[in-house]
Amino acid sequence: MRNTIIELKKADLTLGNQAATVHVLKGIDLEIGKGEAVGIVGPSGSGKSTLLMVLAGLERLDSGEIWINGAPLHTLSEDKLADFRGRNIGIVFQSFHLIANMTALENVAVPLELANAKNPFETARRELEAVGLGERLNHYPGQLSGGEQQRVAIARALAPSPSVLIADEPTGNLDSDTGRQIADLLFSKQAERGTTLVLVTHDPSLAARCTRQVKVRSGMLEANTVSAASVADVVPA
Ligand SMILES: Nc1ncnc2c1ncn2[C@@H]1O[C@H](COP(=O)(O)OP(=O)(O)OP(=O)(O)O)[C@@H](O)[C@H]1O
Ligand SMILES: [Mg+2]
């Protein structure tokens, strides 16, 4: 593949303790190109979230390789891995994961500040304006709707300009209209910035908006489908 940004080779992972071990990822090979939007689908318990955590550098493989932007994450020390994550990867979760006693502005600015970014509060304000929350900077998460909280989470994920954006059921806790708005926002930011997007979803309409769908079943990849929309882009009528 040209312009590969993410590559998994024979990725294998067992989780749990002796009483309850689960062979979650069973030798997964996957290549993702720069700027792609990949939708990971599959039944509950098939290993989708675990796969995302590996791609995010938050879970280590037992064996196999994970390369992102030319960096071998499987060989990095914890410190180097944390540093790599901060610079290269943005993450959005289903349940937002905002810090309750920080305002929207602080939720976005503080991680930038901790990473020694320049002008963290200015950047945070700009990112929140870019997701339509310029009027909600000083609201606490508890004072925001679900959709607004997810917008804060997206602003936080995008603020360090990561090359990879990872989202685990980003619309899973939202009603369908709000979910569609959040999906619109994710895809427009992705296109605008040339970010590579990898998302997990149970929503077939959201998966269909990705350039490619990857189906996980029992820790293995079942199918690799290019969406009709992206085929139409490359095959003249
Ligand atoms: N820390 C853990 N210890 C033991 N088993 C685990 C652990 N984390 C996940 N598992 C198991 O691994 C399997 C895959 O979990 P995962 O969360 O990746 O599934 P999923 O595809 O995201 O499911 P869902 O669609 O319900 O979110 C499940 O059977 C789960 O019980
Ligand atoms: Mg999951």
Q: Whose CA is nearest to atom 28 of ligand 1?
A: 45
At residue 82, the pLDDT reads 93
Collapsing DSSP states into helix, strand and coil, what is residue 42? coil
Q: How confident is the model at residue 230 (pLDDT cuts 50, 70, 90)?
A: low
**Ligand 2 midpoint to CA 54 (Å):** 13
Give dist(CA 176, CA 10) in Å, integer.
36
**Rounded CA Rg of the chain:** 18
**8 Å CB contact between 38 and 198:** yes
**Measuring from each residue's beta carbon to the nearest atom of ligand 1, which residues come in under 6 Å?**
15-16, 20, 22, 24, 42, 44-50
- Segment 175-228, tens digit of pLDDT: 999 999 999 999 999 999 999 999 999 999 999 999 999 999 999 999 777 765
The mean-pLDDT minimum among 1-10, 52-61, 119-128 falls in: 1-10
* Residues 105-156: tens digit of each pLDDT: 999 999 999 988 999 999 999 999 999 999 999 999 999 999 999 999 999 9
Residue type, 185: L
Task: Give the Cα-Cα-Cα angle 152, 33, 37 (nearest 5 degrees).
Answer: 40
Cα–Cα–Cα angle for 214, 218, 224, nearest 5°? 15
